[in-house]
């Protein structure tokens, strides 16, 4: 599986690679990005940032690069991608965000640096940085969520 993580120039994106040890991870960001390619991951540029057409830009990129799954980390990408998830799905690309109509439940209104993060796919936790065991959650729990303690409300991890 080929996974695209946006915000590739940020340390949070690098930490996420631990969650996908058996997949190829493409760390991408806007503007200048170091040109590093290894067997398990690579860095690449998404080109010039245009927030007005972010979903279109990312869909074209995903199709061109044969991406199977996209994890948006920039806060300005989350809503457009959640609203476009069905379109991405038609091309076989999974968007890891909660549904657009429930995003507000998972977005933190303040900038928070979480100690831990967990990756959920349709309510199933596939990775937790602090080795917590999360039982099956609501299927809308889809994406990377930050938390400090296991009993905290999970919030989308964004930069």
| Full set of structural domains in the chain with CATH | 2-156 (3.40.50.20)
| Sign of the torsion angle spanned by Cα atoms 156, 13, 88, 126 | negative
Query: Sorting pLDDT into bands at 50, 70 and 90, what band is 145?
Result: very high
Share of the chain residues as helix, strand and coil, in percent rounded to the nearest 5: 30, 25, 45
Angle at which helices 54-64 and 75-83 cross, to 10°: 80
The pair phi, psi for residue 62, each rounded to 5°, is -60, -40
What confidence tens digit (pLDDT) does each residue in 10-56 have? 989 999 999 999 999 999 999 988 888 889 999 999 999 999 999 99
Global pTM exceeds 0.85: yes
Query: Sorting pLDDT into bands at 50, 70 and 90, what band is 84?
Result: very high
Query: Sorting pLDDT into bands at 50, 70 and 90, what band is 153?
Result: confident
Does the pLDDT of residue 109 top 90, yes or no? no
- Reading the block at residue 136, the tokens are 């099956």
What confidence tens digit (pLDDT) does each residue in 44-75 have? 999 999 999 999 999 999 999 999 999 999 99
């Amino acid at each position: 599986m080929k996974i695209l993580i946006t915000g590739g120039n940020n340390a949070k994106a690098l930490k996420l690679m631990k969650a996908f040890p058996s997949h190829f991870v493409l760390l991408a960001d806007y503007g200048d990005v170091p040109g590093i390619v290894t067997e398990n991951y690579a860095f690449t540029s998404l080109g010039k940032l245009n927030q007005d057409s972010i979903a279109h830009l990312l869909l074209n990129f995903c199709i061109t690069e044969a991406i199977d799954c996209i994890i948006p980390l920039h806060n300005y990408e989350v809503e457009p991608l959640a609203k476009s998830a069905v379109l991405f799905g038609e091309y076989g690309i999974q968007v890891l965000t909660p549904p657009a109509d429930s995003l507000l439940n998972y977005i933190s209104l303040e900038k928070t640096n979480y100690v831990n993060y967990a990756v959920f796919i349709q309510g199933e936790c596939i990775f937790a940085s602090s080795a917590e065991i999360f039982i099956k959650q609501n299927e809308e729990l889809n994406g990377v969520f930050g938390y400090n303690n296991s009993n905290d409300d999970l919030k989308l991890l964004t930069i």
